[in-house]
Structure 1
Amino acid sequence: MPDIKRKTKTFFSLLKRAYFSWDRNDPWARSATIAYYALFSLPSLLIIVVTVAGYFWGQEAVQGRITKEIGEFIGMEAANSIEEMVAAAALDQSSTWALVFGFFFLLFGATGVFFQLKAAMNNIWNIAAKKNNVKRIVINRIISLGMVFVLGLLLLISLIISTILRAISDYLAKITPGITTFLLDLADFVLSFTIIMSLFASIFKWLPDVKLRWKTTYLGAMLTTALFLIAEYLIGFYFGQSDPASVYGGASSVVLILLWVYYTCLIVFFGAEFTVQYALHKKEKVEPNEYAEPAIYQELQRLESKRGQLIDEKRILDTLQSHTDKDEEEKKNQESEK
């Protein structure tokens, strides 16, 4: 019992520290930035996810599942709009060059949101990427593309397990129809929780330029998933009560997508801050990888550069002031001579 009390106290202490660090890093502006990028990345990202999972399961089934899942978050009207975006952004098969260029633009667009999310994660860990070169830019895009494929893989696993659960449900319905619904709902919740937690753990592990153990990411990923599922209900309740779609008219689908990504990013950033505080509490050895360094080094360089700039500005002001004083002195002399 004392051990449980101590762990509970430590947990709430970590939550408190994570909140203050989260608020200090201005998550509001960063979430708005990523929501903006996500709006343009979403069609490309979903096309790749649908293609990856659809190769094994069928694109219509995958696209229907995505529309259903998104519809549960922000409503079927916005989900149908996203489905139309995906259809409109599909690659043109009529021309080889159009297909090649379309593919590269597709990859660039799909990885944009993860590229921005990576920068935000680095900021949370107080590290900064070293000077970018072509090799590092390519690696960053590959990592971001890897996250897109992780989404496709998790969706595929979700579809497979959902099919298995449906088969088990049909079997149990013949034997114990009374508990079938409860068991299915419980299994579906555990499935959703596990898949979402795996996604968040992957983001915390792979996106920031730090060497981090999987074990360190899972507690933060569990907390983020719990907050995400709670927020899913609250956001759905808010959308249902306030009906923001009626305020924005034809732009309602775009606004709902932006709001959904915005609030999701706030939660992800808090989970990342909690992961940082947990790593500090456990005295985990966390250090930047070969492509990054502590942010304080670059901050000191900026301050030194700013110091040199201020010295130059002061020298210019002193020179201007000396000229002004000289002119005033000459003017006084001329007046005295008269």
Structure 2
Amino acid sequence: MLKVKNALALISEAAKSWYSSNPFQFSAIIAYYAILSLPALMIIIFNIVGAIWGRDIVQGEILGEISRAIGRETAESIRMMLVDQGNEKTSVFATVVGIGTLIYGSTGVFFQLQTAFDRIWESKQTQTNEILVVIYSRLKSFGFILIIGFLLLISFVLTSLLNTFSKRLHRFLPR
């Protein structure tokens, strides 16, 4: 049975353990990678969802959310990056290097998050080949990006269905 005396000891032990795992360093690393990988994440998700749902619709929705969150000027700058991206003719080598860099940058935040959790929870690696561990972690991270794109697609579908239903409901019900 959990008593107040036991709960305070449990909270105290959890706080000591949390602080000893150096959480501020991990949060700074993850924030750094999140900021650096955000443009790459946006481009990948924009292209994945845009290929299925339509680039104009996805661009309007994403930029509308960005505009509401951080301002119209920033959203306009991001729109210019997304619109201008891919309009120039480039060599095959430059395209491959660009896509590789984009994927590497976008998976960085998930990779660092996994590394931080492994250190905090003191988990041991089962594989001895470090290169395979990094490749597997990056592939898992890219899978997370694909899942985020899929969830964004589902969100767009549900939002459009709800908007359509709402418009039809407004026609039949007086205010």
Counterpart residue number, 2:58: 62
Provide the rounded CA distance (Å) in 1 between the counterparts of 2:132 and 2:125: 13
- Which stretches in structure 2 are left out of the alignment for 5+ residues? none
Q: Partner letter of residue 25 of structure 1?
A: S
Aligned length: 169
Match of 1:110 among 106, 111, 126: 106
In structure 2, relative to structure 1, the CA distance for the partners of 1:92 and 1:132 (3 Å cut) is: farther
**1:125 is aligned with what amino acid?**
W
The DSSP-based 3-state class of the residue aligned with 2:45 is: helix
Partner SS for 2:90: coil
1:162 to 130, 152, 159: 159
- 2:71 alignment counterpart: 75
The amino acid of 1:78's aligned partner reads T
Deviation at 1:18, TM superposition (A): 9.7
* Cα distance in 2 between the residues matched to 1:44 and 1:148: 10
- RMSD of aligned alpha carbons: 3.1
Mean Cα deviation higher: 67-76 or 143-152: 67-76
2:97 aligned partner = 101
Alignment check: 8 A CA contact 1:40 1:109 kept: yes
Among 163, 168, 174, the residue aligned to 1:171 = 168
Question: Which residue of 2 is the match for residue 41 of structure 1?
Answer: 37
The answer to whether the 8 A contact 1:44-1:89 is kept is no
Once the 2 structures are TM-superposed, how far is the Cα of residue 125 of structure 1 from its aligned partner?
2.6
% identical equivalent positions: 38
Does structure 1 residue 125 correspond to structure 2 residue 121?
yes
Radius of gyration: which is bigger?
1
Deviation digits for residues 139-158 of structure 1, max 9, x if unmatched? 11110100111111111111
1:212-227 to structure 2, matched below 5 A, reads none
Give TM-score scaled by structure 1 length: 0.44
Match of 2:22 in 1: 26
- Normalised by the size of structure 2, how large is the TM-score? 0.78
